């Protein structure tokens, strides 16, 4: 089975995040594989081990993303592809990334493509579904269980806490939700072998794409940190006075009613 994993390098949101000049400070930030993409890598490895085939991990980004690709190789993926857009694209968006990935994948005869449900940085959850749309294959998002029998696929997907069972067929794109599996630690032999596994680096030219073909469709106006959480307030006094005060505060201070 020909399996592809869409992987994104993100900063670790458990570390402190700072903003300067309208951008997130990359100095001192820790970078990781997007946690949902880790589920995708793990699932891909499990499907390969059960059904045979090959797992290729692909990312769109800069040179630095090699680390995250190597980690996926250390976990057990077979090959990695980095589409390096550092020099060509200044401000990409979900359209940019999905266009590039679909161009890469269009002649690869992928049986199964797995992505994370959402990236913890941008949080759009758009890239994987757009790729499926561009490749004209079915997709199922936020899956928590995947069973493959020949070309028939049975999926459980998480719908806001409820489960939905879906039957579909390969070729297929799915996105991984928490609970799909427990990603493994890379093993020592895996780490030692990761460097020797193939990692192809491509640029837009190699995909016959021009900068205009992938120009962003959206523009980021502003990036800001959430407002500091302030201490709560407890209202005192007669109950009806409290209600009056609360309504007034919601109206004048919080401006929500």
Partner 1 sequence: MNFDLTSEQEMIRKMIREFADAEVAPGAYERDKTKEFPIEPFRKLAEMGIMGLPFPEEYGGGGADTVSFAIVVEELSRACGSTGITYSAHISLGGAPINLFGTEEQKREFLTPICTGESFGAFGLTEPNAGSDAGGTQTTAVEKDGQFVINGSKCFITNASYAKHLALTAITDQKDGKKEISAIIVPTDAKGFKIIDNYEKMGLNASNTTELVLEDVYVPTENLLGKKGEGFKQFLITLDGGRIGIGAMAVGIAQAAYEKALQYAQERKQFGRSLSQFQAIQFKLADMALKIELARTMVYKAAWLKDQGRKFSKEASMCKLYASEICMEVTSQAVQIHGGYGYMKDYHVERFMRDAKLLEIGEGTSEVQRMVISREIGC
Nearest distance in Å: CB 192, partner 1: 6
Q: How far apart are CA 154 and CA 172, in angstroms?
A: 11
Rule CB under 8 A: choose which of 186, 204, 209, 214 binds partner 1.
Answer: 186
- Taking the complex as a whole, the smallest distance from the CB of residue 112 to partner 1 amounts, in Å, to 26
CB of 38 to partner 1, least distance (A): 11
Question: Interface residues for partner 1 in 121-180 (CB under 8 A)?
Answer: none
C-beta closer to partner 1: residue 71 or 117: 71
Q: Kindly tell me which of 125 and 190 has the beta carbon lying closer to partner 1.
A: 190
Give yes or no for residue 67 binding partner 1 (CB under 8 A). Answer: yes
Cα first-last separation, the chain: 55
Nearer to partner 1, 66 or 245 (CB): 66
Residue 179 beta carbon to partner 1: minimum distance, rounded to whole angstroms? 17
Shortest distance (Å) from residue 50 CB to partner 1: 19
In this structure, what token pair is assigned to residue 46?
């499990």
Residue 188 interacts with partner 1 (CB under 8 A)? yes
Peptide bond into 171 cis (omega under 30): yes
Residue (92 or 183) nearer to partner 1, CB: 183
Residue 203 in tokens: 């640029």
Residue 132 has, within 13 A of its CA and on its CB side, a CA count of: 21
How many CB atoms neighbour CB 23 within 10 A? Answer: 9
> Can residue 71 be called a binding residue for partner 1 (CB under 8 A)?
yes
Candidate residues 151, 152, 187, 242; the one interacting with partner 1 per rule CB under 8 A: 187
Coil, strand or helix at 158: strand
- Would you mind telling me the total number of residues written for the chain in this entry? 257
Task: Write out the binding residues for partner 1, residues 190-229 only, by CB under 8 A.
Answer: 190-192, 194-195
Q: Any residues with CB less than 8 A from the CB of 77 and at least 6 apart, and which?
A: 5, 41, 44, 45, 55, 56, 57, 197
Q: How many CA atoms lie within 13 A of 98 on its CB side?
A: 20
Options 169-177, 186-194, 202-210, 220-228: segment touching partner 1 (CB under 8 A): 186-194
Kindly tell me the burial class for residue 163, based on how many C-beta atoms sit within 10 Å of its own C-beta (0-12, 13-18, 19 or more): exposed
Residues of the shown chain interacting with partner 1 in the complex, contacts defined by CB under 8 A: 67, 70-71, 74, 185-192, 194-195
């Amino acid at each position: 089975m020909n399996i592809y994993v869409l992987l994104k390098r993100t900063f670790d949101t458990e570390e402190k995040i700072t903003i300067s000049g309208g951008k997130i400070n990359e100095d001192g930030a820790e970078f990781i594989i997007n946690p949902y993409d880790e589920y995708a890598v793990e699932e891909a490895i499990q499907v390969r081990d059960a059904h045979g085939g090959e797992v290729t991990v692909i990312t769109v980004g800069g040179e630095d993303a090699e680390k995250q690709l190597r980690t996926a190789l250390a976990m057990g993926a077979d090959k990695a592809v980095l589409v390096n857009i550092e020099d060509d694209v200044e401000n990409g968006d979900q359209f940019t990334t999905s266009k590039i990935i679909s161009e890469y994948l269009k002649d690869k005869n992928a049986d199964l493509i797995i992505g994370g449900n959402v990236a913890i940085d941008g949080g759009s959850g758009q890239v994987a579904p757009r790729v499926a749309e561009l490749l004209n294959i079915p997709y199922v998002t936020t899956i928590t269980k995947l069973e493959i029998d020949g070309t028939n696929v049975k999926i459980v997907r998480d719908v806001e806490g409820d489960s939905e069972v879906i039957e579909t067929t390969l070729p297929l794109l799915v996105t991984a939700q928490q609970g799909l599996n427990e990603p493994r630690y890379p093993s020592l032999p895996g780490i030692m072998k990761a460097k020797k596994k193939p990692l192809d680096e491509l640029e837009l030219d190699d995909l016959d794409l021009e900068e205009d073909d992938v120009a962003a469709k959206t523009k980021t106006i502003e990036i800001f940190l959430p407002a500091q959480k302030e201490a709560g307030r407890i209202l005192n006094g007669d109950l009806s006075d409290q209600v009056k005060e609360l309504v007034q505060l919601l109206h004048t201070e919080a401006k929500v009613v």
